Amino acid sequence: MVQGFLILLVCQLAGEWLMVWFGWPIPGPVAGMLLLLAGLLAVGRVPDSLRLPAEGLVRHLSLLFVPAGVGLMLFADTLAQHWLTILASLILSTFLTLALTGWMLQAFEKRQQKGRSKAWN
């Protein structure tokens, strides 16, 4: 279990380091998750030593949103000034996400149907 937490922390630290080093405007934890995903895809499975701590974190995921909520309260004035831009961004990103998800689902279904038709021949 400690090994799993260590892997998660190393991925986050590596993501932070890469973003600072390259100067990219991507949050370090997001880059760390992408590194973790790449590692898991390379291995082909999720080891139990990583699965158990990850399930524990997901089980208590709501607690991880408390710092973000506090941050929102700290920047309430800025949010009040730019509420229209934020609202427009949220609406646009929601529709783009829905469209992209629908398009990907259709593409995967077509791919799966082609695989099934080949299997029946």
Tokens (6 digits) for 121: 């021949």
Residues 53 and 80 reside in one and the same domain: no
Residues 40 and 14 reside in one and the same domain: yes
Residues 51 and 75 reside in one and the same domain: no
Is 40 within the bounds of a domain?
A: yes
Is 111 within the bounds of a domain?
A: yes
Is 65 within the bounds of a domain?
A: no
Contact (CB, 8 A) for 49 and 4: yes
Reference 37, options 2, 8, 5; nearest CA is: 8
User: What end-to-end distance do the CA atoms of the chain give, in Å?
Assistant: 47
Give the CA radius of gyration of the chain. 20
Residue-wise pLDDT tens for the chain (121 aa)?
899 999 999 999 999 999 999 999 999 999 999 999 999 999 999 999 999 999 998 999 888 888 888 888 888 999 999 999 999 999 999 999 999 999 999 999 998 888 776 655 5
Range of the domain at 87: 70-121
Is 44 within the bounds of a domain?
A: yes
Cα separations in angstroms, 74 against 28, 66, 69, 84: 22, 13, 9, 19
What pLDDT is stored for residue 115 in this prediction?
76
Tokens (6 digits) for 31: 């880059």
Tokens (6 digits) for 20: 């600072």
Is 74 within the bounds of a domain?
A: yes
Is 100 within the bounds of a domain?
A: yes
What pLDDT is stored for residue 120 in this prediction?
59
Tell me how many domains the chain contains: 2
Residues 82 and 118 reside in one and the same domain: yes
